[in-house]
């Protein structure tokens, strides 16, 4: 049996942390290894515990969840996957967290089953990508694209550009493969190339960068 997924909880509300712990610790393959009430505590705890996944509240005193996410991802070569937890899905804090590399976001009103599935999903290395919600965030918060197209646009092959557009619609590798008439392994190779050329940590960050550059539209 494989080791359980190790999770750190970061939220300034004790009741929220307790509720999350009860839900996650009830699953045999998930284990909460620590709790933090501030962004600074979260950074220190993650560096000490080396969890697989962090559930990060975006609004905390002192260092908020965005800065904490940025510090963790910038300072750890084997950084955990970070899911930001929020009350409002169109919050600019959420957009900024995704922009700096969070693997996705989860609403505080999400059902226990959604929470458990989200932790397992990101622990596998996938992005927690909700296409409609990300498009809404992009429409509300994306910065204007630069006057000149970013260098990565010119470096994408025609196939890679097509893959990025399909990723932005929320399709899985298997669904993209079916749409393009190629094998899933080929799509996986294209996705890896796209992430490398964009300098993106994962699919979610790649989609945010694509919207910001005007490569795909938010409408």
pLDDT at residue 66 tops 70 = yes
Q: For the domain 140-212, what is the CATH code?
A: 1.10.10.10
**CATH code for the part of the protein at 5-128:** 3.40.50.2300
pLDDT, mean of residues 153-179? 91
Q: Can you give the length of the chain in residues?
A: 219
Is residue 169 very low, low, confident or very high in pLDDT (cuts 50, 70, 90)? confident
Quick: pLDDT tens for 78-119.
Answer: 899 999 888 866 667 778 888 888 888 888 888 999 999 999
**Nearest to 160, CA basis, from 200, 111, 113:** 200
DSSP state of 79: P
Measuring CA to CA, which residue among 76, 92, 81 is closest to residue 136?
92
Query: Cα separation of 67 and 79, whole Å?
Result: 15
Q: Report the alpha-carbon angle 36-40-44, nearest 5.
A: 75
List 54's β-bridge partners, or say none: 8, 82
* pLDDT at 70 (0 to 100): 92
Candidate from 17-26, 110-119, 207-216 with smallest mean pLDDT: 207-216
Cα(57)–Cα(64) distance, rounded to whole angstroms?
A: 8
Report how far residue 89's alpha carbon sits from residue 175's, in angstroms, rounded to the nearest whole number. 26
Hey, where are the domains in the chain?
Answer: 5-128, 140-212
């Amino acid at each position: 049996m494989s080791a359980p997924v190790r999770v750190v909880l970061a939220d300034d509300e004790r009741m929220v942390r307790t509720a999350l712990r009860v839900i996650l610790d009830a699953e045999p393959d998930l284990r909460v290894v620590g709790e933090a009430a501030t962004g600074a505590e979260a950074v220190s705890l993650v560096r000490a515990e080396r969890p697989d996944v962090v559930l990060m509240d975006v609004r905390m005193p002192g260092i908020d969840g965005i800065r904490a996410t940025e510090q963790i991802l910038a300072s750890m070569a084997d950084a955990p996957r970070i899911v930001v937890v929020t009350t409002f899905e169109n919050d600019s804090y959420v957009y900024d967290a995704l922009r700096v590399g969070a693997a996705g976001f989860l609403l505080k009103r999400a059902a226990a089953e959604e929470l458990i599935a989200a932790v397992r999903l990101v622990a596998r290395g996938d992005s927690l990508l909700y296409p409609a919600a990300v498009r809404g965030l992009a429409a509300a918060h994306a910065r204007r694209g630069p006057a000149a197209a970013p260098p990565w646009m010119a470096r994408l092959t025609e196939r890679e550009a097509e893959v990025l557009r399909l990723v932005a619609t929320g399709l899985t590798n298997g669904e993209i493969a079916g749409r393009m008439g190629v094998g899933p392994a080929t799509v996986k190779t294209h996705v890896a190339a796209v992430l490398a050329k964009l300098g993106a940590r994962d699919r979610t960050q790649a989609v945010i960068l694509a919207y910001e550059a005007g490569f795909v539209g938010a409408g």
